[in-house]
A and B are shown apart, each in its own frame.
Chain A
Amino acid sequence: MTGVVRAHGRGTVKLIFAATFLVTAFLILTPLASLLYGSFRSAGPGEPSVFTWRNWTDLGSAAIANTLVTTCFISAVTAVLSTAGGAALAWLIYRTDFRFKRSTVAAVGLSFFFPGFILAMAWVILGSPGGIFNDVLEELFGIEGFKFDVYSISGIIWIQILHIIPFAFFTLRGPLIAMDSSLEEAAYASGASPWQVVRRVTVPLMLFPMLSSLLLCFVLSVEQFAIPAMVGIPGHVNTLATELYLLTNFSPPNTGLAAAVGLSMSAVTGLTIFAQRRVVAKRGAPTVSGKGYRVRPLALGKWRWAAQAVALFYILMSFIIPTLALIYTSAIKFFVANPMEASYTWRNYLQIWNSPGTMRAFWNTIVVAGGGALLGLILGTLIAYSTHRLKPRGHRALDVLACLPFGIPGIVIGLGFLWSYVYLPIYGTLWVLVFCYMARFLPYATETIGAQIVQFDKVLEEAAWASGANRVASFRRIVLPLLRPALQSGYFLLFIAYFREIAAAALIYTASTQVLSISIWAFFENANWGVASALSIVTTIITVALMAAVARASLRV
C-alpha cells in the first residue's frame, strides 16, 4: 500500500474490527491461557499454590494412559461406524429407489437435534441392568441369563453411534447432492452397471468427504461428555472427558491435573481438526454443478425391504423408543415393565412446576440461550464479515482464533473458564455461561454466516457504495437483508446449542446459575428418573417446537 489515507469512513470500520478482534481474543484465549496457567499450579483455582511440573508428569500415569487408550478406541470405533452409517443412509436416500425419503430425512433431523444427554438417559432407562429391556426379557418372555448392559464400553459406543450418525449423514449428503451428476451419467453411458458406478465413481468421488466426516466424527466422540458420563461412570469406564470431570468434582479435586488432561485432549482434537481442514482444502469441496441430482435412482430390488427395515430400526432406536421410554417413565408412579399394569400420574410434571430451583433453571436457560445466542450471532457475523469481506490487517489471525473452538472440547472450555475465576469477576453469574458458550459455539456462527457471505457477489455491495451508501449504510441496507436466511438459521443453531449444552456447563454452574440440562442430570443422578424424564420431555418439546417455528419462518422468506 502507498501512504494514501482514505478520506472518510475507514475509522468506524477499523474501530469495529478492533473491537471484534479483542472480544474474540478474550473469549478464546481466556480459557486456553487459564488452562495453561492452571496446568502448572500445585493447587486449584483460588487456592494458594506454587509452580509445579507434577501435573504434566502425572499424565504418564497408568490410569491416565489407560483412559487415553479407551477414549481413542471408543472414538475410532464410533467414527468408523457413524460415518459408514451416515454414508449408507445418504446413499440410500439420494441414489436409490428407497421409499419414504422425506420422512426419513425429517426423522434423522429430529435425531440430530435430540440432545445427547437425554438420549443417554433414555438408554439408561432402557438398557441398564435394571432397565426396561431386561425387565421385558425377564417378566414378559421369561428369559434369564442374558442381560443388556449399557454401562459398558459397547454401551457408550452404541449410544454415541446413534447420536452421531445424523451428523455424518448431514455432512455427507451435501457433497453427494452437489456432486456433478454427469460424472455418474457418463459412467452409465460407458456401459457400467449401477453397482459398478457406485464402486468406481460414487465412492471414489466421495472418498475425501467421507474422510473429512470420519475425522469430525472422531472429534465429536472424543469431545462427548454426557454419554460417557451417564453410562460410563456407573460402569467404571472413563474417557478423557469424564476423567477431567471426576478430577475436578470429586475429592480430592486435582484441578491442575485436569487442566493438563484438558490441554492434551485439545491437542488430540485440535490436530484431528487440523488434519480434517487439510483434507477439505485438498479435495473435500465437491464439484458443484448446480444442476442438482438427476441420476436415475438405483433399483434396490429385494434388498429394498432390508434397507427400509434397517433405516426404520435406526429411527426407532435413536429417537422414537427413547422418547417413548421417557414419556412412560415420566408418567408412572413406580416402575413396571408392562404399561398395562402401571398406574399413571402427573406428579412429575407438577413437581417441575412447583420446584423454584427448576423454574429458575428454566429462566436461566432462556436468558442464556435467548440472549447469549444473540450475542454469539452478532460476534459471529462481525467475524465472518471481517474475514470474508473487509480483510483488514489481522483478519487471518482472527480467522484462526475463531476456528480454534472447533478443536477444543466443551468440557475443556468449561474448565478453562473455571480456572479463569482467579482473575475474572464473572464467576457465579450467568455471564460465565454466556462467555463459555459463545466461545464454544463461535464456529457455528462464523461458518453459517461465512457460507452465506461468500454466496453473494461483492459487487452488490460495491453497487451500493457507487450509489452513495457508506460502509455502515450498505452493511445495514444490503448485506444484512441478504444475510437474513443465514442469520435466522445461525441464531436457531446457536439457540439450540446453548439450550442443551451440558459439557461446558457441568464444571462452572453454581446453585444460582443452574440450567435445564444440569437440572435434568441432577434429578437423574439422584435416581429421580420420573422428574428427570418429565423435564427431558418438556425440553425436547420446546426444542422441537422452536425448530418447527424457525423452519416455518425461514420458509416464508
Chain B
Amino acid sequence: MSIIVRDLVKRYGDKTIIDGISFEIAQGELVSLLGPSGCGKTTTLRCIAGLETPEAGFIAIDDMVVFDSQAGIAVEPYHRDIGMVFQSYAIWPHLTVFENVAFPLRIRRRPNTEVETRVTKALAMVGLSAFRDRSSQQLSGGQQQRVAVARAIVHAPAVLLFDEPLSNLDAKLRDQTRAEIRKLQRELNVATVYVTHDQAEALSLSDRILVMRDGVIRQQGTPEAVYGTPLDAFVADVVGPANFLPVTVVGAASGGVEATLAGGEHVLAAFGPTTPGPANAMIRPDRLVLGAVPGANQLHGRIRQRLYLGGHFEYLVAVGSASLRVLSSAMAAEGDSVTLSFTAADCIILATDTQETSSWA
C-alpha cells in the first residue's frame, strides 16, 4: 500500500476535527475525499503531508511509518516522499516558473543536468514549456495551477496530494484541467489523494471516493457504488443532486421494497431496508420523467417553477407537501398539473435517521 491511514484523530482545542478515520490507497490509485466544506478534508490531507500533527493514529507513506502516536513517531513534512498541490497554489513570487518547479530537485541537491531535464519534462507535461523563464507573478490562475502541479510531480514522489486544485479556476478551464490531471496521474501511476467538495470532480476522476462528514468517513467505494447505492441521504446528497420523498415502508415486495406516500400512492424501490416504518425515497432529478410511463412508479404534482438551462429545463414540482427537482427536455408550463414517472431501479429507500441533510425545497 502506498498510503495507510489508521484511526486518525485531530483536534483543535476541544473540537474534534478528524474522528478516527482509516483508509488505504494502493499504488496508482486515485482516491477522492469528498464532503461539504468544513468536514475535515483539508485537515486529513495536511496530516498525511505532515503539516499538522494529529492527536492519535498511524500514517505510513510508501511503507515508511511517518506518524505513529503510540510509537512517538512524527516525521517532518520535508522527510516525507510527497508532492502536494495547495488550494491557493502557493507559487513563490520571487522565483521564476523554472525555479519554482526546480525547487524540490534543488533541495535534494540533484545535479544541474538532471534538474534541467526533469523540469523540462514536468513543464512539458503540464503544457508550460513556453513559460519556463517567466516570472511567476506574470501567470494566470490556470498557469499557476499548472506550475503547482509540475512542482508536485517533478521529483517523482511516492504519493501526490491535491487540495481542491480546481476550485480557483473558472468552469471551462476546470473541466479541461480535470481531464488532464486524470491523464497525468495515470501516466505517473502514483497513489493520489484528491480533496474536493465538487461531486462531478470526484465522480469523474476517482478510482474510489471517500465521502466524509464531520470528520468521519460515511461511505467509501467506486464512484458508481456511492452514486448508485448511497448508504444514507447525506451521501446521496453529496455525490449528486437528489430528491427525497417521505414515505412509509410497507415491506419487501417482488423486485424490491414497497412503500406508500402520504397521499396513499404506492411506490416500488429497487433497494433499501424492508423494516416497515417511515423512510425516504431518493430519486435523482434526471431520473424523473415528465409524463406517464406504463409500469413505472407514478406521482402527481403541479409545476411550481421552470428554469431554462440550455437544451433542457429544471422543473420544481410540488408533490403533496414535498417538492421535487426534475431535469427534463420535455416542455411544460408553470402551473401545469403533471405526472412524474420513475422506475423502481431509479429509486432507493433510505432510513430517515440521517435525514437532517438538505433536501430540495
Q: Which of B55, B90, B103 makes the CB contact (< 8 A) with A469?
A: B103
Whether B86 contacts A2 by the Cβ 8 Å rule is: no
- Selected interface stretch from A75-83, A135-143, A324-332, A458-466: A458-466
Whether B55 contacts A8 by the Cβ 8 Å rule is: no
Given the complex of chains A and B, what is the CA–CA distance between A467 and B82 in angstroms? 7
Q: Given the known inter-chain contacts A2-B56, A4-B72, A7-B73, please indicate yes or no for A463 contacting B78, CB distance below 8 A.
A: no
Taking CB as reference atom, which chain B residue is nearest A481?
B94
Whether B75 contacts A459 by the Cβ 8 Å rule is: no
Q: Which of A7, A460, A473, A484 makes the CB contact (< 8 A) with B107?
A: A473
Give chain A nearest CB distance to B12 CB in angstroms.
12
Q: Which of A3, A4, A462, A470 makes the CB contact (< 8 A) with B86?
A: A462
Q: Given the known inter-chain contacts A464-B103, A468-B107, please indicate yes or no for A459 contacting B74, CB distance below 8 A.
A: no
Whether B339 sits at the interface, judged by CB under 8 Å, is: no
Contact-residue size bin, chain B (C-beta under 8 Å from the other chain): 20 to 34
Given the complex of chains A and B, what is the CA–CA distance between A470 and B80 in angstroms? 11
Whether A5 contacts B90 by the Cβ 8 Å rule is: no
Give chain B nearest CB distance to A194 CB in angstroms.
38
Number of interface residues of A (CB under 8 A): 29
Q: Given the known inter-chain contacts A4-B69, A473-B107, please indicate yes or no for A465 contacting B77, CB distance below 8 A.
A: yes
Which B residues are in CB contact (< 8 Å) with A7? 73-76, 79
Whether B86 contacts A459 by the Cβ 8 Å rule is: yes
Give chain A nearest CB distance to B345 CB in angstroms.
45
Which B residues are in CB contact (< 8 Å) with A466? 49, 51, 77-78, 82-84, 152, 161
Which B residues are in CB contact (< 8 Å) with A3? 72
**What string of 1s and 0s marks CB contacts (under 8 Å) between A8-20 and chain B?**
1110000000000
Taking CB as reference atom, which chain A residue is nearest B46?
A462
Q: Which of B56, B74, B92 makes the CB contact (< 8 A) with A463?
A: B92
Whether A6 sits at the interface, judged by CB under 8 Å, is: yes
Given the complex of chains A and B, what is the CA–CA distance between A12 and B28 in angstroms? 37
Which B residues are in CB contact (< 8 Å) with A459? 86, 88, 90
Whether A457 sits at the interface, judged by CB under 8 Å, is: yes
Which A residues are in CB contact (< 8 Å) with B103? 464, 467, 469, 477
Which A residues are in CB contact (< 8 Å) with B51? 462, 465-466
Enumerate A442-461 residues with CB–CB distance to B below 8 Å: 457, 459-460
Whether B78 contacts A6 by the Cβ 8 Å rule is: no
Given the complex of chains A and B, what is the CA–CA distance between A463 and B75 in angstroms? 16
Given the complex of chains A and B, what is the CA–CA distance between A463 and B55 in angstroms? 23
Whether B151 sits at the interface, judged by CB under 8 Å, is: yes
Which A residues are in CB contact (< 8 Å) with B76? 6-10, 465, 470
Whether A4 contacts B79 by the Cβ 8 Å rule is: no
Whether B104 sits at the interface, judged by CB under 8 Å, is: yes
Enumerate B45-104 residues with CB–CB distance to A below 8 Å: 49-51, 53, 55-56, 67, 69, 72-79, 82-84, 86, 88, 90, 92-94, 103-104
Whether B108 sits at the interface, judged by CB under 8 Å, is: yes
Q: Which of A2, A9, A460 makes the CB contact (< 8 A) with B78?
A: A9
Taking CB as reference atom, which chain B residue is nearest A482?
B94
Which B residues are in CB contact (< 8 Å) with A2? 53, 55-56, 69
Whether A187 sits at the interface, judged by CB under 8 Å, is: no
Q: Which of A1, A463, A484 makes the CB contact (< 8 A) with B90?
A: A463
**What string of 1s and 0s marks CB contacts (under 8 Å) between A468-487 and chain B?**
11100110011001101000
Whether A4 contacts B74 by the Cβ 8 Å rule is: yes
Given the complex of chains A and B, what is the CA–CA distance between A3 and B72 in angstroms? 7
Given the complex of chains A and B, what is the CA–CA distance between A474 and B92 in angstroms? 11
Whether A467 contacts B86 by the Cβ 8 Å rule is: no
Whether A468 contacts B108 by the Cβ 8 Å rule is: yes
Given the complex of chains A and B, what is the CA–CA distance between A148 and B155 in angstroms? 76
Whether A457 contacts B155 by the Cβ 8 Å rule is: no
Give chain A nearest CB distance to B92 CB in angstroms.
6
Which are the 7 A-B pairs with shortest beta-carbon distances?
A463-B90, A466-B84, A467-B104, A465-B77, A481-B94, A459-B90, A468-B107
List residues of A whose CB falls within 8 A of some B CB.
Answer: 1-10, 457, 459-460, 462-470, 473-474, 477-478, 481-482, 484
Q: A1-B53, A465-B51, A466-B49 known; 4 other A-B pairs, CB under 8 Å?
A: A2-B53, A2-B69, A4-B69, A7-B75
Q: List 11 A-B contacts (CB under 8 A).
A: A4-B73, A5-B72, A9-B76, A457-B90, A459-B90, A460-B90, A463-B84, A467-B104, A467-B151, A468-B78, A481-B94
